Amino acid sequence: MTKLESIVAEFTSFQSWEDRYRHLIQLGKQMPELEEAHKTDANKVKGCQSQVWLIAELVKSDQGHVIEYRADSDASIVKGIVALLTRVYSGLTPDEVLALKPDFIDTIGLRQHLSMSRANGLNSMLKQISLYALAYQQKIKLGLV
């Protein structure tokens, strides 16, 4: 079972959206704290109503270079959303991140259960994840890593 299939199975195992929200909040609580030094304006995701910090690091692995994302938020549901996104996109190469369409968000029904402002924040987080991947993709192509 792939990482995405596992996540879809995990979320669809809950009968109600209340249970899925609780699970999202739990994911946020389980996410390692982001060091205060990283909670800067430069790492803030623009377009989120809540404060969301997202950082990315390119690390060497068996597959070449992969990106490890770390994040935090001051809002529990948003922290759960960003925890879910870092879980999905961490460990992928920049090319894989850019190729991975966020269809899983619709498959688990998350997007349609978010307020307009949270949905906009989700889109901003996805955009930031892609921007990091694009930057690292270019660094790799230019031989800067």
| Catalytic site residue from 7, 27, 34, 48 | 48
Residues 6+ apart with CB under 8 A from 117: 49
Ramachandran sector of residue 71 (left: φ over 0; alpha: ψ -120 to 50; beta: rest): beta
Query: Catalytic: 45?
Result: no
Q: Give, to the nearest 10 degrees, the angle between helix 17-30 and helix 76-89.
A: 70
Catalytically active residues, by annotation:
48
